[in-house]
Chains A and B, each alone.
Chain A
Amino acid sequence: MTTTATPTQPQPIKPATPAPVYNPKSESATAKRIKSTIFHIVALALVVMVLYPAIWMIASSFKPNSEIGGANNALWSNNFSFDNFATAMDGIGGVSTLTFFTNSLILAVGAVVGTVLSASISAYAFARINFPGRGLFFGMMIATLLLPFHVVIIPQYIVFQQLGLVDTYVPLLIGKFLAADAFFVFLMVQFMRGLPAELDEAARIDGAGHARIFGSIMLPLMKPALISTSIFSFIWSWNDFLGPLLYLNTPEKYPLPLALRLFVDQTQSSDYGAMIAMSVLALLPVLVFFLVFQRYIVEGVSTQGLKG
């Protein structure tokens, strides 16, 4: 409303702006401030409650064993030390935690590369190419979103076992290169559908084929979708437990979650501190990722309906 008034008559507007002091609306300004303060107190209290387990975990990882749990339960200890981390880094059964880290990293990076490649290529077919059966295949792809994956793990295991691929990373990575995570294909299809159709029409008139349209037009424009996919596929792979539990059986090949379980089995309650320090280490990349990319992550969830 100011835009129409300001260019012609800037003078009368000026006295109008300090007026709110006398305006009845000024009362609601204080009310608003009180409301806002209440909002922040409530929201902050909730944040502390929700983040408490994470805070407790980090605080405990620096405490000596005797002060975790039991009667001595202050969140912060004066006997702050890195001992737990030193024990945790030693690893389990002669395998250093660095090895587990490397394994997790190989699996997660493999998952990102595989998923980004295969999901973007398949999504291009669904979103931009007209071919018979597209609708049917798309429906099937969506249906796999709802399918409990337990129905496929047994035959998959049997096949990989007969191929002699158990205890290798192949069963854990092959699905990523074959676009098995329908979520990501769907995410990219939705994203590509939002890109203007004139782009590829123009490229086609200039004689570009699908490979070229995909490589030089679509991929660069899909950056946001590729970033969300990379982040989620990294974190999901990093946190994955069931896959490695099924397929890996030599500790040298274990990723962190599996190593963590082995650690729990072996130490049980005897070394709580080291167990929690190792849990912190196992979550560290996820936490760092979250701090760096939180905007992409949260936006990604709200636009594509991804789960955590």
Chain B
Amino acid sequence: MTQSPTLSRRASSAPSQPRKSRRRGADARAGYTFLLPWLLGFIALTVGPMISSLYLSFTNYNLFDAPKWIGLDNYTTLLQDERFLQSVGVTLQYVVFGTPLKLAAALAIAMLLNSKRKGQGFYRSAFYAPSLIGASVSIAIVWKAMFGDSGPVDQGLSFFGINLGGWVGNPNMTMGMMILLTVWQFGAPMVIFLAGLKQIPADLYEAASMDGAGPVRKFLNITWPMLSPVIFFNLLMETIHAFQIFASAYIISNGEGGPAGSTLFYTLYLYLRGFSDFRMGYASAMAWLLVIVVGIITLIFFKTSKSWVHYSGDAK
């Protein structure tokens, strides 16, 4: 180490061509060495498993006997499997209603908090807190207790003369309860929205006020377009996130997806098929369908984003 300064000085006096290539070679070696942990993990925990899961999805495999090739059978069986179709319906309902509601709540509260007032830090933290604990088993238990038949939510509503006949045990209400659970965790996208709102130059709003624009116009013509990259990011991440809900569904439905399959989320059914019935090939086919669907949705988001997402560097 102590010699290194003189070494480098000698190296720099040498002709630049070999020195550069030597440095490039050393850089490549160092690069791969530093990348080694990630590279190993990527091959062993992501690429390898993806390939084998694709293979398994064309087989019958129960963990004990060798996998048996059955071609597309898993996929065709899936399309006739009523519980699978139900799990697709349940998950889509959750994603389609839960995600936009959550983002709307996040944006509304972010706009409320985007002003210079005392206590903003407190509000930000308080609203964020559920995002940190929302997916935990503890909160699923609390949710189940609160929304249980004659639980506090039911009692509170009956005070206003609304009798819904319970949530947890009522197949018509469980989805509403699950959606409330995800909307409740609006804090994470809210904080990201807030950061985005802070980037919008205040003079845009001042100029709009001078031109006599009301709050709706300001929102549609300034906030929405200026915030669109952040909205896009949140929409994409929350949608993908929503497809993968597991722990709360598992706890609230006692690991069965009940009542009447109303909380049989896709990942829960995948887990039941794979790890209760040991139908690993079938579950792998489900996993690949999920990857394909998420991939298609991501692609659609990116394609359509060109028409509504504006980056500041864009030519108008």
Q: Are B155 and A47 in contact (CB under 8 A)?
A: no
B148 within 8 A of A: yes
Whether A140 contacts B125 in the complex (CB less than 8 A), given A308-B185, A308-B187, comes out as no
Q: Are A118 and B287 in contact (CB under 8 A)?
A: no
For A46, the closest partner residue in chain B by CB is B109
Q: Are B30 and A129 in contact (CB under 8 A)?
A: yes
Q: Are A178 and B192 in contact (CB under 8 A)?
A: no
Bound-state Cα–Cα, A204 to B294, Å: 44
- Within 8 Å by CB of B8, from A51, A179, A205, A264, lies A205
Q: Are A260 and B141 in contact (CB under 8 A)?
A: yes
Bound-state Cα–Cα, A62 to B13, Å: 76
For A72, the closest partner residue in chain B by CB is B155
Among all A-B residue pairs, the 4 with the closest Cβ atoms: A178-B41, A308-B131, A207-B4, A131-B31
Contact residues of A: prevailing secondary structure: helix
**Restricting to A55-91, which residues have a CB under 8 Å from any CB of B?**
56-57, 60, 68-71, 73
Whether A141 contacts B24 in the complex (CB less than 8 A), given A151-B288, A158-B280, comes out as no
Q: Are B133 and A141 in contact (CB under 8 A)?
A: no
Q: Interface range on chain A: under 10, 10 to 19, 20 to 34, or 35 or more?
A: 35 or more
Min C-beta distance of A138 to chain B, whole Å: 10
Q: Are B129 and A54 in contact (CB under 8 A)?
A: yes
Whether A242 contacts B49 in the complex (CB less than 8 A), given A69-B148, A70-B150, A177-B37, comes out as no
Q: Are A297 and B63 in contact (CB under 8 A)?
A: no
- Within 8 Å by CB of A286, from B38, B119, B136, B151, lies B136
Q: Are B141 and A276 in contact (CB under 8 A)?
A: yes
- Within 8 Å by CB of A179, from B41, B50, B133, lies B41
Bound-state Cα–Cα, A302 to B106, Å: 13
One digit per residue, 1 when the CB lies within 8 angstroms of any chain A CB and 0 when it does not, for chain B 274-301 equals: 1100001001101110110010001000
| Extra pairs beyond A148-B287, A150-B267 (20, CB < 8 Å) | A47-B127, A125-B33, A129-B27, A130-B31, A137-B35, A147-B291, A151-B290, A154-B284, A155-B284, A157-B275, A159-B49, A180-B41, A206-B8, A245-B250, A257-B138, A264-B141, A279-B139, A282-B137, A301-B191, A308-B135
Contacts of B227 in A (CB 8 A): none
Min C-beta distance of A256 to chain B, whole Å: 8
Min C-beta distance of A259 to chain B, whole Å: 9
- A-B residue pairs in contact (CB < 8 Å), sample of 27: A39-B117, A46-B127, A53-B130, A53-B142, A54-B142, A71-B150, A73-B152, A118-B41, A125-B35, A148-B240, A154-B53, A155-B50, A155-B284, A156-B49, A158-B280, A161-B63, A177-B37, A180-B41, A205-B12, A235-B132, A241-B247, A279-B137, A287-B133, A297-B125, A298-B121, A298-B191, A308-B134
A121 within 8 A of B: yes
Whether A150 contacts B141 in the complex (CB less than 8 A), given A73-B155, A131-B27, A308-B128, comes out as no
Contacts of A212 in B (CB 8 A): 1
Q: Are A43 and B123 in contact (CB under 8 A)?
A: yes
Bound-state Cα–Cα, A137 to B47, Å: 12
A21 within 8 A of B: no
B244 within 8 A of A: yes
Q: Are B192 and A305 in contact (CB under 8 A)?
A: yes
